[in-house]
C-alpha cells in the first residue's frame, strides 16, 4: 500500500540492524535521476586539500584514493537503497556548510551574513537543516514539481588563485531539467562575464568556497556577486569539496553516452571540474540522494565565439522575456525527462500519480514524432535533414512499442483535472493485473453512485443540481443562483460548506464527503498497483530513454526556426549580410511594428570604420531612444540567424553590445539617476573594445549642464579612441562640434515640423521621426515647449535673450578652419577607398563609375574649405 504524504516511515540502515531512522516528508526528495545508494563511513571521507597552487577554493584531492560514490548499474529492490546519511552527511558534510543571506541586516558588512547550520553545532536532526534549494515534491497535475516561472538553477562558482586569478570555473544545474552546464573562461577585474552569465542563469542559489568570503578579507569576485545578486541566496562550503579529480569522476560516471564527448573538452579545465564536484556533492546532500548512472546531459559552454550582452542592456532591450513553448502539441520534454529518470525515495501517492501522468505525457510526445518526421521529410536543407535524421532514431519506436504493450492506445494527455484523473486510472490495459481491474470497477461504481446520489437530491428538493469536480474538493454540487425553486433564497439544511461564486452556488453534503473519501481510497489502490506496473515498464525502457535529449534539442531548435520563418514570411524582412560595415536601408523597429496601429517610420543607418561615431540630436519624443533600440535589436536578430526588418541590411559582427538607456533611480543601491548613469558608463568604458556596438542615450542629463557636457565630451573622446561602432544620442548641441577635431564623427538629427495653431495663435511641433544627416535646425526646443505651457511670457522672453547670448559666445569658439576641412575631406576619401578595396563586388565598369563619383565628391569638398577660409578672413 502507498503511504499518505504525512506518514513517517522507519527505514533500515545497512550495516546496523538495530538502528533505524525516522524519515519525515519534509526531508528533501531526490530529483533529476537521483538515486539513494548506501554509503559507508570510509567511502564518504572528506577529500584532502590539494596542493595545486593556482586553484581557488578548487582544491583537488590528488593523493586520496577515494572516489565519488558510484550508483549501482541496476536499480535495487525497494528499500534496499534507502538509508540514513547520518554517518556521512551529517557528521562530515553538513558541518562544512555555511548559509549566506543578503538580508538587510547584512548589507552594511563586507560580505553577507553567514549562518552556521544547526548540524554544525551538534544537532543531528536532518530536518533542522535549512536549504535554499527547493524540495522536489511530486505533482500529480504537472510534469514538474517546481513552477515553470520560479528560479530553479543552482550554480557553483570558483576562481583561480595567484597567477591564475581571473580564471573562472562555473557549473550549474536546473532542478527542472537533468542537465549540467560547465563553463570556464578568463575574466578581467570587473568580472563582467561572470555577472552577465549569472544574470542569464537567474540562479536560485550560488555556491562558493568558504575561503572566498573570509570576513574582512573576502575576494573581489565574491563582493561583486553579492552586490549584484542581493535577492539570491548564498551557500559556502569547505574548499576541499572543490576537487577537480572528483569532478572528472562525476562526469565519467553520470554523463549519458550521447554527450560523453564533453570529457575531451573539460579534461584540462580544472576550475569547471572543481565547480561541478562541489555542485553535485551539495545537491546530493540537500536531496539526500545520488544521481543514477548515465542519466545526466552534461555540456560545456565557453565564452568564445559569442557576443556578450550585459544584463542592463538585455533589460533595456527587453530581451529577457521569452516564450519557451515548443511546437504545437509538444509538451516540455526537458521537464518530462527530468521526472522520468528520477527515483523517488518514498512510494507516496503523489509520487505514484506523477509517474503515471508523465508516462502518459511520454506516450503523447512519442506519438507526435512521426507527424513531425512527415513534415520534415521533403525538406532539402542540410539543417532540416539533420533534424529529420535525429528523429529517425529507432529508440523512439522501441520505447513507444513497449509503452503500448502496457498502456491503452487511447490514453493521452487531456486538459482538465477530472479528464486527466480518468486517463490515469484507466491508463494500464485490462487483464494485466486482476486486482487492478477489480479496483477500477470499484472506482467506477463509486463515481456512478455519486452521480446517482446527486440526481436523487435534485429530485428530492426539485433543484437543478449538477455534479462538479475540482482537484482540491473532489466531487461537489453546483447550482445557479437564479433558481426560482429556492424557498426564501435558502438551500436545504442538508447541504454544507456553501460558497457563492459569481452566479453559482457550490456546496456538498455529509454523504458526499464520505463518498469522496471512499473514492480517494479506491484511487490510492489504483495508483499503487498502476505505479508498480509503470515502474517495471520504466525499468525496461530506461536504457533507451536518453534519446529524449535529442528530441528536446530538435523540438526547441525547430520551434526557434519556426519563429524565424513566421517573422520573415509575415513581414517584409530581409536576409542580412555580414561585412565590416553596419548599413541598414529603411529599417524599422520590429516590436513597434507589432504593437503600433500604423507601420513605423523607416530610417537608414550607415556606420563604417571611417565614420564609426554617430551623434544623434533632436527634440524630446522625436524618436532617438526608439531608434537606438531598433539598431540593437536588428544587430541581435542578425547575429542569431534571423531576418531583419529592413529593405537591405549589412552588419559587422559585434563581440559585445552595450546600451545606456534607462534613467530610473535605483532605490535598493541608493543610486540617483546620475550615479546610475556613471556606473553604467564606467562598465562600458572598462569592457568595450573595437568590435563592440555601443548605444548611449542622453548621458549626463542627471547633473548640471556644464558638468554634463564635460563628462559627455570626455566619454566621446575615449570611445573615439576605441574605434567601436557608437551611436550617441544627446540634447547637448555643443557636442556636435566635436566633428571639427575628429573626422570619423557624423552628426544626425531627427526632423520636426512646425504647424501653426490658428485657434491659439501658437506653433505646435509635428514629429516626423525621420533621421537626416547634419546638425539639427531645431534650436531651443525646450524654450518652445515652455512657451506652449503656462509660463509667464516675461520669463520666456528673458530666457530667450540669455540663451541667445550664451549660444553666440559658444559658436565663436567653435568655428572650423580651412585646414580642418581639408583634412576631413582627405580622411573620408581614404576610408571610402579602403572600404571599396575590402568589400567591392562591382564589375570593372561600375567600379570605374563609383571611383569617378568619389573623385568628384572629393573635389567638391575643397570649395567648401575655401568658403570657410573666406569667412574666417572676413
SS3 sequence of 144-182: CCCCCCCCCEEEEEEECCHHHCCEEEEEEEECCCCEEEE
pLDDT, mean of residues 45-63: 39
**From the DSSP assignment, how many helices (H) and strands (E) are in the chain?**
23, 27
| Predicted confidence band of residue 401 (pLDDT cuts 50, 70, 90) | very high
Q: What is the mean pLDDT of the segment spanning 732-754?
A: 86
pLDDT greater at residue 497 or residue 662: 497
pLDDT score at 292: 74
Pairing of strands 613-617, 745-757: parallel
- Please say if the pLDDT value at position 138 is more than 50: no
Comparing 850 with 716, which gets the higher pLDDT? 716
Q: What is the pLDDT of residue 257?
A: 81
pLDDT at 129: 45
Q: What is the pLDDT of residues 807-842, one digit of tens each?
A: 777 666 655 566 767 777 777 777 778 777 777 777
Which of the 8 DSSP states describes residue 666? B
Q: What is the mean pLDDT of residues 486-509?
A: 83
Span 101-119, average pLDDT:
37
- Judged by average pLDDT, the poorest of 12-26, 128-142, 393-407 is 12-26
Q: Are 256 and 250 in contact (CB under 8 A)?
A: no
The mean pLDDT value for 385-403 works out to: 90
Predicted confidence at residue 110, as pLDDT, reads 37
Q: With pLDDT > 90 as the criterion, what percentage of the chain qualifies?
A: 21
pLDDT for residue 632: 93
pLDDT > 50? residue 137: no
Mean per-residue pLDDT for 434-439? Answer: 92
- The more confident residue out of 189 and 351 is 189
Residue predicted with more confidence, 414 or 608 = 608
Cβ 208 vs Cβ 223: under 8 Å: no
pTM of the predicted protein model: 0.61
Of 323-332, 645-654, 779-788, which has the strongest mean pLDDT?
A: 645-654
pLDDT, mean of residues 259-265: 84
- pLDDT by residue (tens digit) across 515-532? 999 999 999 999 889 888
Mean pLDDT for 66-71 is 39
| Distances, alpha carbon 693 to alpha carbons 634, 683, 722, 745, 755, in Å | 12, 14, 11, 15, 37
Q: Is 555 helix (H, G, I), strand (E, B) or coil?
A: helix
| Structure confidence at residue 332 (pLDDT) | 55
| Residue closest to 361 by CA, chosen among 552, 93, 95 | 552
State the DSSP code for 86: I
Q: Higher-confidence residue: 484 or 599?
A: 599
Measured CA to CA, the distance from residue 755 to residue 779 in angstroms comes to 16
**Contacts with 278 (C-beta within 8 Å, 6 or more apart), sequence order:** 156, 158, 171, 207, 209, 237, 241, 242, 243
- Cα distance from N-terminal residue to C-terminal residue, the chain: 105
CA distance linking residue 639 with residue 33, whole number of Å: 36
Does residue 41 or residue 436 have the better pLDDT?
A: 436
Q: Which CA distances in Å does 333 have to 180, 330, 525?
A: 16, 8, 29
CA distance linking residue 337 with residue 341, whole number of Å: 6
| Range with lowest mean pLDDT among 234-238, 367-371, 755-759 | 755-759
Of residues 864 and 35, more confidence is placed in 864
Q: Residue 124: its pLDDT value, please? A: 35
Q: How many CB atoms sit inside 10 A of residue 413's CB?
A: 18
Whether residue 862 has pLDDT greater than 90: no
Kindly give the pairing relationship between strand 745-757 and strand 762-773: antiparallel
Q: Is the pLDDT of residue 533 over 70?
A: yes
What does the pLDDT average to over 10-30?
A: 35
Q: Are 234 and 226 in contact (CB under 8 A)?
A: yes
pLDDT of residue 571: 84
Find how far residue 118's CA is from the centre of its chain: 34
pLDDT at residue 761 greater than cutoff 70: no
| Bigger pLDDT: 572 vs 821 | 572
pLDDT-derived band of residue 645, with 50, 70 and 90 as boundaries? very high
Sorting pLDDT into bands at 50, 70 and 90, what band is 46?
very low
Gyration radius from the chain CA atoms? 34
What local confidence, expressed as pLDDT, does residue 815 receive? 55
pLDDT given for residue 760 in this prediction: 61
| Distant-in-sequence, close-in-space partners of 653: CB < 8 Å, separation ≥ 6 | 307, 578, 639, 691
Confidence of residue 728 (pLDDT cuts 50, 70, 90): very high
- Residue 784 is predicted with a pLDDT of 66
For residue 669, what pLDDT is reported? 46
| Residue 568 or 65, more confident | 568
Give which of 741, 668, 663, 742 is closest to 698, Cα–Cα.
663
Is the model more confident about 177 or about 9?
A: 177
Q: Please give the backbone phi and psi of residue 130, each rounded to the nearest 5 degrees, phi first.
A: -100, 120
Per-residue pLDDT at 670? 45
Q: In this predicted structure, what is the pLDDT of residue 780?
A: 65
> What's the confidence (pLDDT) of residue 654?
92
Domains and their CATH numbers in the chain: 31-46+53-63+81-127+149-316 (3.30.420.110), 326-565 (1.10.1420.10), 571-778 (3.40.50.300), 823-873 (no CATH)
Quick one: pLDDT at residue 277? 94
Instruction: Centre a 10 Å sphere on the Cβ of residue 706 and count the other Cβ atoms it contains.
Output: 8
pLDDT at residue 82 in the model = 32
Dist. CA 302–CA 284, nearest whole Å:
26
Q: How confident is the model at residue 573 (pLDDT cuts 50, 70, 90)?
A: very high
Q: Which of 455-459, 504-508, 587-591, 666-670 has the least mean pLDDT?
A: 666-670
Residue 93 DSSP one-character state: I
Which band of pLDDT confidence, cut at 50, 70 and 90, is reported for residue 10?
very low
- Per-range mean pLDDT, top range of 51-55, 120-124, 618-622, 642-646: 642-646
Mean pLDDT of the chain: 75
Bridge-based pairing of strands 656-660 and 308-309 is parallel
* Alpha-carbon span 658 to 687, nearest angstrom: 9
Across the range 346-368, mean pLDDT stands at: 79
Amino acid at each position: 500500500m502507498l503511504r499518505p504524504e504525512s506518514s513517517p516511515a522507519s527505514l533500515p540502515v545497512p550495516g546496523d540492524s538495530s538502528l533505524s531512522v525516522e524519515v519525515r516528508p519534509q526531508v528533501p526528495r531526490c530529483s533529476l535521476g537521483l538515486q539513494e545508494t548506501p554509503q559507508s563511513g570510509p567511502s564518504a571521507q572528506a577529500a584532502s586539500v590539494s596542493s595545486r597552487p593556482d586553484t581557488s577554493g578548487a582544491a583537488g584531492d590528488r593523493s586520496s584514493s577515494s572516489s565519488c560514490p558510484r550508483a549501482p548499474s541496476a536499480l535495487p529492490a525497494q528499500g534496499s537503497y534507502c538509508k540514513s546519511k547520518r554517518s556521512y552527511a551529517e557528521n562530515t558534510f553538513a558541518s562544512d556548510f555555511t548559509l549566506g543571506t543578503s538580508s538587510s541586516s547584512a548589507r552594511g558588512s563586507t560580505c553577507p551574513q553567514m549562518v552556521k547550520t544547526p548540524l554544525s553545532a551538534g544537532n543531528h536532526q536532518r530536518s533542522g537543516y535549512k536549504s535554499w534549494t527547493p524540495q522536489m515534491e511530486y505533482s500529480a497535475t504537472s510534469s514538474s514539481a517546481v513552477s515553470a516561472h520560479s528560479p530553479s538553477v543552482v550554480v557553483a562558482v570558483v576562481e583561480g588563485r595567484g597567477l591564475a586569478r581571473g580564471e573562472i570555473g562555473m557549473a550549474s544545474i536546473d532542478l527542472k531539467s537533468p542537465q549540467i552546464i560547465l563553463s570556464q573562461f578568463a575574466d578581467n577585474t570587473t568580472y563582467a562575464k561572470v555577472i552577465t552569465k549569472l544574470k542569464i542563469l537567474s540562479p536560485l542559489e550560488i555556491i562558493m568556497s568558504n575561503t572566498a568570503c573570509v570576513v574582512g578579507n573576502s575576494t573581489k569576485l565574491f563582493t561583486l556577486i553579492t552586490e549584484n545578486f542581493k535577492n539570491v541566496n548564498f551557500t559556502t562550503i569547505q574548499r576541499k569539496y572543490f576537487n577537480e579529480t572528483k569532478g572528472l569522476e562525476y562526469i565519467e560516471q553520470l554523463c549519458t553516452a550521447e554527450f560523453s564527448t564533453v570529457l575531451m573538452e573539460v579534461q584540462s579545465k580544472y576550475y569547471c571540474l572543481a565547480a561541478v564536484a562541489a555542485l553535485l556533492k551539495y545537491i546530493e546532500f540537500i536531496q539526500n540522494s545520488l544521481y543514477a548512472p548515465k542519466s545526466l546531459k552534461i555540456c560545456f559552454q565557453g565564452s568564445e565565439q559569442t557576443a556578450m550582452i550585459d544584463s542592463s542592456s538585455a533589460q533595456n532591450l527587453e530581451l529577457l522575456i521569452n516564450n519557451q513553448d515548443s511546437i504545437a502539441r509538444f509538451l516540455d520534454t526537458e521537464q518530462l525527462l527530468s521526472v522520468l529518470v528520477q527515483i523517488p525515495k518514498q512510494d507516496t501517492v503523489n509520487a505514484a500519480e506523477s509517474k503515471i501522468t508523465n508516462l502518459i505525457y511520454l506516450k503523447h510526445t512519442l506519438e507526435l514524432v512521426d507527424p513531425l518526421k512527415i513534415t520534415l521529410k521533403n525538406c532539402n536543407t542540410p539543417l532540416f535533414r539533420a533534424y529529420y535524421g535525429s528523429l529517425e532514431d529507432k529508440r523512439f519506436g522501441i520505447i513507444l512499442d513497449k509503452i503500448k504493450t502496457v498502456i491503452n492506445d487511447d490514453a493521452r494527455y487531456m486538459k482538465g483535472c477530472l479528464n486527466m484523473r480518468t486517463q490515469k486510472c484507466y491508463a494500464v490495459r485490462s487483464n494485466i493485473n486482476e486486482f487492478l481491474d477489480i479496483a477500477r470497477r470499484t472506482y467506477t461504481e463509486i463515481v456512478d453512485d455519486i452521480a446517482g446520489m446527486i440526481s436523487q437530491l435534485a429530485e428530492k428538493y426539485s433543484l437543478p443540481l449538477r455534479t462538479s469536480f475540482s482537484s482540491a474538493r473532489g466531487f461537489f454540487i453546483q447550482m445557479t443562483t437564479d433558481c426560482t425553486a429556492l424557498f426564501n433564497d435558502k438551500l436545504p439544511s442538508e447541504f454544507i460548506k456553501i460558497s457563492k461564486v459569481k452566479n453559482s452556488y457550490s456546496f456538498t453534503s455529509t454523504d458526499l464527503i464520505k463518498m469522496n473519501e471512499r473514492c480517494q481510497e479506491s484511487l490510492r489502490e489504483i495508483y499503487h498497483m498502476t505505479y508498480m506496473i509503470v515502474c517495471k515498464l520504466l525499468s525496461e525502457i530506461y536504457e533507451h530513454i536518453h534519446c529524449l535529449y535529442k528530441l528536446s534539442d530538435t523540438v526547441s531548435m525547430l520551434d526557434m526556426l519556426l519563429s524565424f520563418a513566421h517573422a520573415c514570411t509575415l513581414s517584409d524582412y530581409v536576409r542580412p549580410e555580414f561585412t565590416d560595415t553596419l548599413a541598414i536601408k529603411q529599417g524599422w523597429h520590429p516590436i513597434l511594428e507589432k504593437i503600433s496601429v500604423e507601420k513605423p517610420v523607416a530610417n537608414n543607418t550607415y556606420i563604417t570604420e571611417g565614420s564609426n561615431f554617430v551623434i544623434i540630436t533632436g527634440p524630446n519624443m522625436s524618436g532617438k531612444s526608439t531608434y537606438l533600440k531598433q539598431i540593437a535589436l536588428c544587430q541581435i536578430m542578425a547575429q542569431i540567424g534571423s531576418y531583419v526588418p529592413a529593405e537591405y541590411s549589412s552588419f559587422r559582427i559585434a563581440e559585445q553590445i552595450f546600451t545606456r538607456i534607462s534613467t530610473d533611480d535605483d532605490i535598493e543601491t541608493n543610486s540617483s539617476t546620475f550615479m546610475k548613469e556613471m556606473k553604467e558608463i564606467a562598465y562600458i568604458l572598462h569592457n568595450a573594445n573595437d568590435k563592440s556596438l555601443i548605444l548611449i542615450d542622453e548621458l549626463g542629463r542627471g547633473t548640471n549642464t556644464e558638468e554634463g557636457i564635460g563628462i559627455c565630451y570626455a566619454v566621446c573622446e575615449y570611445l573615439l579612441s576605441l574605434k567601436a561602432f557608437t551611436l550617441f544620442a544627446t540634447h547637448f548641441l555643443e557636442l556636435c562640434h566635436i566633428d571639427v577635431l575628429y573626422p570619423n564623427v557624423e552628426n544626425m538629427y531627427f526632423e520636426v515640423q512646425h504647424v501653426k495653431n490658428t485657434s491659439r495663435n501658437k506653433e505646435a511641433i509635428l514629429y516626423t521621426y525621420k533621421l537626416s544627416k547634419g546638425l539639427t535646425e531645431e534650436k531651443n526646443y525646450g524654450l518652445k515647449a515652455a512657451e506652449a505651457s503656462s509660463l509667464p511670457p516675461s520669463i520666456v522672453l528673458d530666457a530667450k535673450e540669455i540663451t541667445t547670448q550664451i549660444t553666440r559666445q559658444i559658436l565663436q569658439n567653435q568655428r572650423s578652419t580651412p585646414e580642418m576641412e581639408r583634412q576631413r575631406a582627405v580622411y573620408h576619401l581614404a576610408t571610402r577607398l579602403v572600404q571599396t578595396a575590402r568589400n567591392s563586388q562591382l564589375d570593372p565598369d561600375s567600379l570605374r563609375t563609383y571611383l569617378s563619383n568619389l573623385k568628384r565628391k572629393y573635389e567638391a569638398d575643397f570649395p567648401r574649405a575655401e568658403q570657410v577660409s573666406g569667412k574666417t578672413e572676413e
